[in-house]
Amino acid sequence: MSHQEHRRLAATQTTAIPCAVLTISDSRSEATDESGQYIRTALTQAGHNVVQYAVVRDEPAQIVEMVRRFAAEGCKVIITNGGTGISRRDSTFEAIDALLEKRLPGFGEIFRMLSFAEIGPAAMLSRATAGIMGGTLIFCLPGSPNAVRLGIDRLILPELAHLVWETVR
């Protein structure tokens, strides 16, 4: 079966997907979380259910605890934003990578390629990543609103039903 056939089949068999959004930031709150709000709105407008949302500090233990909780509560997709850079405080990549059973290296590769077209060589500073933990898809995006829009609009939403379908077939 071709990827187009998989996409069509996935679209007919995958209804509203239960999703969680996790913002990782030492400076943002729910009131100032533009990127998290964008993700929530985009998922909802695409017909998915955002059933969990939180903002946590860039602390590995907090990140892992929240991701595990969201997965245990039935979220099939968790999208994080923030903490994917290379500063000393950025710990999302390490925290999530340790949880992943299967990685989707193409996600980060394509994200950086698309970012390069927009921002040039600074794209290499992103450690955007994705993978699967026990049947839950996890996507880690940078926290900037432009990066979030790129990841959501050009990568995640166009393939989300297909990706979820692949994890359960």
Judge whether residue 97 has pLDDT over 70: yes
- Per-residue tokens: 29: 């709150």
In-domain check, residue 112: yes
pLDDT at 112: 98
pLDDT at 9: 66
With a pLDDT cut of 90, the percent of the chain lying above it is: 88
Q: What is the pLDDT of residues 116-134, one digit of tens each?
A: 999 999 999 999 999 999 9
Computed over every residue of the chain, the mean pLDDT equals 95
What letter does residue 17 receive in the DSSP assignment? P
Rounded-to-integer distance, Cα 142 and Cα 122, Å: 13
Rg for the chain, CA atoms, rounded:
15
In-domain check, residue 79: yes
How many distinct structural domains can be found in the chain? 1
In-domain check, residue 29: yes
| CATH code at position 60 | 3.40.980.10
In-domain check, residue 52: yes
Mean pLDDT to the nearest integer, 49-62: 98
Rounded-to-integer distance, Cα 123 and Cα 137, Å: 23
In-domain check, residue 9: no
In-domain check, residue 6: no
In-domain check, residue 8: no
Mean pLDDT to the nearest integer, 34-38: 98
Judge whether residue 13 has pLDDT over 90: no
Judge whether residue 12 has pLDDT over 80: no
69: three-class secondary structure by DSSP: helix
Mean pLDDT to the nearest integer, 45-54: 98
Helix residue ranges, H only, 18-133 = 34-45, 60-72, 92-97, 105-119
Q: Which of 1, 10, 5, 59 is nearest to 163 (CA)?
A: 10
The residue to which tokens 């692949």 are assigned: 166
Mean pLDDT to the nearest integer, 71-91: 97
Rounded-to-integer distance, Cα 136 and Cα 94, Å: 18
CB 46 within 8 A of CB 54: no
In-domain check, residue 101: yes
46: three-class secondary structure by DSSP: coil
Range of the domain at 145: 20-168
pLDDT at 10: 61
34: three-class secondary structure by DSSP: helix
